[in-house]
Structure 1
Amino acid sequence: MGEPAPRGNADPDRCRVHAPGHDHLRWRRNTPVGLRVLRGARLPRREAAEPPAPERSIPDPGRALRRGGCAQVPGIRPAREPRRAHQDPRHRALPVDPRVDRVRAGAARVGGAGGVKHDVGLCALIVNYNTGSYAVSCVESLQREWAREGRDPARLSIVCVDNASPTDQSEFLTRLEGLGVEVVRSEENLGYARGMNLAYERTDGAPGDAVAVLNPDLFFLPGAIGTMIDYLFDHPECGCVDPATCIDALGVFNLPRNLLPTPVEHWRVTLAQLTPAFARRYSRYRLRRALEWWGTDQPVASDMLSGCCLFLRRAVVERMGRVMDPRYPLYFEDTDLFRTLRGMGLTVVHHGGARILHHWSRSALVGGDFDHEPQRRHDISRDLYYAKFYGPLGRLAVAAANALHRRWPKDRLGRPMAELEHLGDFDGPLELTLPREARFLIEISVNPTFIICGGIFGEGASWVCPEEAWEWLFQLDYYVRAVDLDTLETLGTWSFRKTSAGRNHAMTSEEIEALEGRLLSAAVR
């Protein structure tokens, strides 16, 4: 089926949901407050667009940066097909791609695209660490969707660097080579950033081509490639774009939104783990930003994305001189990339109209041991990031928060932010009964403070997890709460344990085709 995936140094998202620490979480700042939850999840209008800001030089890694501006969208409007995006007056305007439901339209196609808008080449870069079976599935889905859109196979090149995986990957690396992938077998674990840079060095192409930075545990769905490429080349002010990600092919489990790491946000998360009162306050802060992310199929400008799937123009990568800063041994390399792009006057955009599957840290094995080498690399990267962008005072603020966390009584760390009803053990799919009929959001986390969560949308007085989504959850303790989308009132908070093993092999094209109209049927419309 697929080889086991112990902790992985190839996946910058491995601790996004499950790590016992919290320094790695991605945060953002300067987000407008007052986001209203409306019945239709769409972007609001703007009155006028401003020209993009002039290009600026790449930040000097030897000094700190304290740049406060970012291009963000402050709210959501219920219109079905908005023509333009509203923009906070402090930030640059973000043009909106006029296509709606591109993914579902792409899924309905049975033949080629009949011509493409931007006929560009694509160099896809993958770093593998013990996840060869997933890398094979990722490449197969990428090649299949590239052909489905009517693109020239000769213009798609893929390079995979195996980062000295400790388990035998020869079978899967040979299969990748059979698919036309250039496989580079490193004799040492280079880390994610150096691995990506090495993969890029093995490519060639024109400045007008695209570059994709990919985790191995991805699966491309119909329409995603074209949506991201078209947006990227329609908007030259865009530095990189990423898709919406979900664990399962039905689109039930939306993966968490990453927030930009800052000293202030680091303190917010630290305090949330110390006391339930702070946890509830941080939950309200995080929920508003997550709804903006999950509740749209349009582009949203941000200061932070997931690093699992990024599309960039090759000309932008050439200007940077590399894909990622090689000094990061693991973690924070994608955060540095986003800040570098924004420092160059480019936007960083999440496109809700492009959807892919991200098999939720299969390259990391959720629940695995985070101590020793991964922890050491994380700490080095964290210190480098805060020194580079926030200087000595920023590092001092983060160190103070960490010291407080270490000294806090262990029995008072990570207390639930609300009283939990324990539902017991579940071998089969979870069933929830709500106190009343409602349009609801279910948040699921492995942490009782809910500092970071996946999201599930539903309507009614109950919810049953589909089997196709349930199988992707690991065998762990989970914490769940339901929120009324119209009032933001908490309808209930529960805990349960999944006793059945999680799926450990990637999706196949046959499974996707068998879903037919059910593909992404639970995704936001």
Structure 2
Amino acid sequence: MISVLIVNYFCHTLTAHAVHSVLADDPSAQVIVVDNSNDQIEAENLRKILPSRAELVVAPINLGFGRACNLAFEQAAGEWILLLNPDAFILPNCLQQLAGTLQRHPKIGALSPLAQWDEAGTFLLPPGQMQTPAWEWMLALGLRFPAFGRWLSMRFRTYALRCLYASLPVRQRMLSGGHMFLRRSAIDAIGGLFDPAFFMYYEDTDLCRRLTKAGFELMLDPEAKVVHQWRHDPIKSQYTVESRLRYMRKHFTNFWLMDRLRQNFEQLLQPKAGKFHDIGICTTAPIFDLPTHQSGSWLLELSTNPLLIPAAYHSSTVASHSIPSSVWSLLGAGRYWARVSHPNGEWSHFTWEIPKSISKSGLELLAPKQVRSANRILHLDWAHQANEAELLDLFRAAFGYQMNPELWRWKYHAFDTLGALVRHNGRAIAFYGAMPRPVHLFGSPATAVQIGDVMVLPEERGMLTRQGLFFLAAKGFLERFVGHGRTFPLAFGFPSERPFRLGVRLGLYDKVGELAQINWPALQARPSYRVRLRPLSTNDSAAVDRLWLEMADALQDQVVGVRDWPYVQRRYMQHPTISYQLYLITSRFTQTPIGIIVIRVLEDAVELLDIIAPPQRMATLTHCLRRLTWNLGKLRTYAWITKQHAHALAGDTGEIVPTGIVIPYNRWTPGISADKVMDRWWLMGGDTDFR
């Protein structure tokens, strides 16, 4: 029997299509669907739309792809296991072809069908490439030395076309987890399906490496076909960074050295994309200027990488002057590259950019709406970058000073919608700001939103009821963006006691924590013989990422903001108005990274803004901090941290005092309950937008 495992995440229509394609090809197949949406409405939609033969498992939280597949595998009874993405569906005779190939070749542990990008088979998706530090070096060199880049690109293309247009099963280096057919005995032999440490991405790379290490072969069977409507989604790239680090750290003992050397090399030499004709910004499929008189075989390669590695391939006897709508609709915002190989051996190269846009449904949701309050008509609108000038004017009126425009842009760079905006007669009178923040939510990557710059014109502040402007702006933003099935599963902020009490009274907020301040005296002491403290440099990105992973692993029962190298760069090194000092603490003998501290030197003290290290190393870090404070000529140092972590950070020498700053939690829209998040945040002064 064949067991098919599908993970759903807010795409019940696609999932149902995938299930129907399986049962149409093999009515006896066992189909197990795991709903990862953590949303009652989505689960109910699945129950209504899935065939009765499909088994539905509703996960208690978003487990991530790998762990959800493991959950489904526990209930799978088949000898053969198919992993199938919800945005994929199989074509006739696919399952029996795959099962037959595995039966004939006992050394094959996993097998992939030929993947078409669209149902018509216009484009074929590329075979996988096993990720290694050496391969990353090859790509880095190819992007900086055009001659080597052309050779590498053509070598990969030759390999890809040989695989995609083979007549018999062909050996592979890696298979996609979106449509992978496995032998159960092979899964058992390597100790299970997916490593649960991977939330999303690289879990299939890890699986393939474990299979090959155990002596199994990976193959592609071109006689079996699947349609995988893969969509380019740049937003998900935040998950790939951490998963890549976990994978590399797991399989390559020299990874940290290789990675550091490669990053240093990439900083020294900028990429050279080659000679591409830049078509510019495209909102519709671009037209390629190609000759019409040549006859023979044309090849169009489409990629998100200037090396065209990997690329989707379209071969035809007719010149491809454009991209069909069935494929164009799958391309998200970002830059794309295309290479057209002519029958006479010449090449044409093109590049273009698809801008960020709002879908039709999004436009309907984000349209201004009228709200009646205090016998007048107000408009609840959504603020964007174009509203910067009037928002800065509102800020000056609300708080009595002018915010630096560069600081404003730095704060609100990561989200098209800056927040909810209330207008009266066209004038902005209230704002509820929003800044996305990648977090680990109980060990799983997610994106939270930090609320900040909540402001109302002074003359409009009198109404503290549900007719007031604060309530209208907050309610509007929460209902649109926060909670189950929305953009952000949870929101947080740092209000003082008075506005927090107002939010509680209006039914908007619950309390899930508070900040405490820790004060330490400076320490006059000789340098430690065990550890070394030095300024963090741009060459230390690998150490930052390593320490962040160790911190994330140690805080899997907490909600903690991501503190990887891109975050450290933007948050502290590129702040437009505040100068921070970042220090790396290492073992004096082994040079192993122990932790990172981020400080700000003030007139009378040193403020500890952030720590990147597992909590068990706090005593070492605070000792270094106190010694550094003395060397900087200050008598005391202090830090903000969530109250439940204060005693561990304070140690025996720190004094803990309340700050009056509470951590609010959305109570207005359905979502993760406040009880689950109560005293589970790891937040420090650096997590705020105002320190």
**Which residue in 1 is equivalent to 2:197?**
327
Q: Contact conserved, 1:163 with 1:189, CA < 8 A, in 2?
A: yes
Aligned Cα root-mean-square deviation (Å): 3.1
* Paired residues of 1:190 and 1:329 also in contact (CA < 8 A): yes
Other-structure match for 2:246: 384
Letter of the 2:314 partner, please give it: I
In percent, how many aligned pairs have the same letter?
A: 26
Once the two structures are overlaid, the 10-residue window that deviates more, 321-330 or 263-272, is 321-330
**1:332 Cα deviation after fit:** 1.8
- What is the one-letter code of the residue matched to 2:290? T
Asked if the contact 1:162–1:183 (Cα under 8 Å) also holds between the matched residues in 2, the reply is: yes
Cα distance change of structure 1 residues 270 and 179 upon mapping to structure 2, 3 Å threshold? farther
The more displaced of 438-447 and 245-254 is 438-447
Q: 5 Å matches for 1:415-426? A: 415-420=272-277, 422=279, 425=282
Offset, 1:397: 1.0
CA distance, structure 2, for counterparts of residue 504 and residue 169 of structure 1 = 21
Residue 419 (structure 1) shift: 3.5
Task: Specify the code of the residue in structure 2 equivalent to 1:281.
Answer: W
Q: Is the 8 A contact 1:243 1:309 kept in 2?
A: yes
1:422-437 aligned at under 5 Å gives the runs 422=279, 425=282, 427=284, 430=287, 432-434=289-291, 436-437=294-295
Deviation at 1:133, TM superposition (A): 1.9
Kept after mapping to 1: 8 A contact 2:109/2:186:
yes
Task: Tell me how far 1:338 sits from its aligned partner.
Answer: 1.4
Structure 2 residue corresponding to 1:143, chosen from 12, 18, 23: 23
3-state SS of 1:383 partner: helix
| Equivalent runs, 1:63-462 vs 2, <5 Å | 121-147=1-27, 153=28, 156-165=29-38, 168-175=41-48, 177-205=50-78, 209-361=79-231, 366-368=233-235, 370-371=237-238, 374-375=239-240, 378-379=241-242, 381-391=243-253, 393-405=254-266, 407-408=267-268, 412-413=270-271, 415-420=272-277, 422=279, 425=282, 427=284, 430=287, 432-434=289-291, 436-461=294-319
- The CA distance in 1 between the partners of 2:116 and 2:286, in whole Å, is 18
Which 10-residue stretch deviates more, 190-199 or 442-451? 442-451
Structure with the largest fraction of strand: 2
Aligned pair in 2 of structure 1 residues 498, 397: CA closer, same or farther (>3 Å)? closer
Judging changes above 3 Å, is the alpha-carbon distance between structure 1 residues 158 and 382 closer, same or farther for their aligned structure 2 residues? same
Residues in 2 aligned to 1:447 and 1:167: alpha-carbon distance in whole angstroms: 39
- SS at the partner of 2:153? helix
- The answer (yes or no) to whether the contact 2:128–2:173 under 8 Å persists in 1 is no
Asked whether the 8 Å contact 1:477–1:497 carries over to 2, the reply is: yes
- Partner residue of 1:492 out of 348, 354, 361: 348
The residue matched to 1:261 in structure 2 has which SS? coil
**What letter matches 1:370 in structure 2?**
S
Which residue type is aligned with residue 251 of structure 2? F
Q: Is this contact kept in 2: 1:332–1:385, CA < 8 A?
A: yes
Equivalent AA in structure 2 for residue 385 of structure 1 = Y
C-alpha distance in 2, partners of 1:319/1:221?
30
Secondary structure of 1:328's partner? coil
Q: What amino acid sits opposite 2:83 in the alignment?
A: V
Mapped partners of 1:305, 1:475: distance in 2: 26
SS state at 1:124 partner:
strand
Distance in 1 between residues matched to 2:358 and 2:97, nearest whole Å: 31
What is the DSSP-based 3-state SS (H/G/I as helix, E as strand, rest coil) of the residue aligned with 2:300?
strand
**What do residues 95-137 of structure 1 show as CA deviations (whole Å, max 9, x unaligned)?**
xxxxxxxxxxxxxxxxxxxxxxxxxx11111122232221111
Deviates further, 130-139 or 423-432: 423-432
Cα deviation digits, residues 222-245 of structure 1 (max 9, x gap) = 121121111011211111111111
Tell me the distance in 2 between the aligned counterparts of 1:482 and 1:172. Answer: 43
Q: Deviations over 1:25-59 (max 9, x none)?
A: xxxxxxxxxxxxxxxxxxxxxxxxxxxxxxxxxxx
Cα pair 1:442 1:482 within 8 Å, conserved = yes
Deviation at 1:351, TM superposition (A): 0.9
5+ long unaligned stretches in structure 1: 1-120, 148-152, 506-525
Q: How many aligned residue pairs are there? A: 360
Contact 1:481–1:490 (CA under 8 A) maintained in structure 2: no
Determine if contact 1:248/1:469 at 8 Å carries over to the other structure.
Answer: yes
In structure 2, distance between residues paired with 1:235 and 1:134: 33
Alpha carbons 1:163, 1:190 under 8 Å: kept:
yes
SS in 1 for 2:234: coil
Instruction: For 1:162, give the aligned amino acid.
Output: D
| Structure in which a larger fraction of residues adopt helix | 2
Deviant stretches of 4+, over 3 Å: 164-168, 175-179, 273-278, 402-405, 423-426, 428-432, 434-438, 460-477, 496-505
* Counterpart Cα distance in 2 of 1:461 and 1:319: 48
Matched residue SS, 2:193: coil
CA shift, 1:438, in A, is: 3.6
Asked whether the equivalents of residues 335 and 353 of structure 2 are also in contact (C-alpha less than 8 Å), the reply is yes
1:165–1:292 distance in 2 versus 1, CA, 3 Å: farther
Q: Provide closer, same or farther for how the CA distance between residues 223 and 387 of structure 1 changes in structure 2, counting only shifts above 3 A.
A: same
Residue aligning to 1:150: none
Alpha-carbon distance change, 474 to 384 in structure 1, aligned in 2, over 3 angstroms: closer
> Would the alpha carbon gap of residues 369 and 143 (structure 1) be closer, same or farther in structure 2, given more than 3 Å must change?
closer
Deviation for aligned residue 1:266: 0.8
Q: Deviations over 1:401-454 (max 9, x none)?
A: 23433x357xx44x4222425277463574552373341211112333423211
Query: Partners of 1:458 and 1:349 in 2: how far apart?
Result: 26
**2-structure distance, mates of 1:397, 1:450:** 24
1:480 has 2:338 as partner: yes
CA distance in 2, matches of 1:367, 1:385: 20
> C-alpha displacement at 1:171, in angstroms?
4.2
| 1:279–1:450 contact (8 Å) kept in structure 2 | no
- Write the letter of the residue equivalent to 1:123: S
Aligned partner of 1:521 in structure 2 is none
Query: Would the aligned equivalents of 2:116 and 2:227 in 1 still touch at CA under 8 Å?
Result: yes
In structure 1, distance between residues paired with 2:38 and 2:141 = 37
Partner amino acid, structure 2, of 1:217: D
TM-score by length of 2: 0.48
Tell which deviates more after alignment, 313-322 or 243-252.
313-322
Task: State the Cα distance separating 1:145 from its structure 2 match.
Answer: 1.4
Contact 1:250–1:469 under 8 Å retained in 2: no
**2:225 and 2:75 mapped to 1: Cα distance?**
28
Q: Is the CA contact 1:477–1:495 (under 8 Å) kept in the aligned structure 2?
A: yes
Question: For residues 75-104 of structure 1, what are the alpha-carbon distances to aligned partners after superposition, in whole Å with 9 as ceiling and x for unaligned?
Answer: xxxxxxxxxxxxxxxxxxxxxxxxxxxxxx
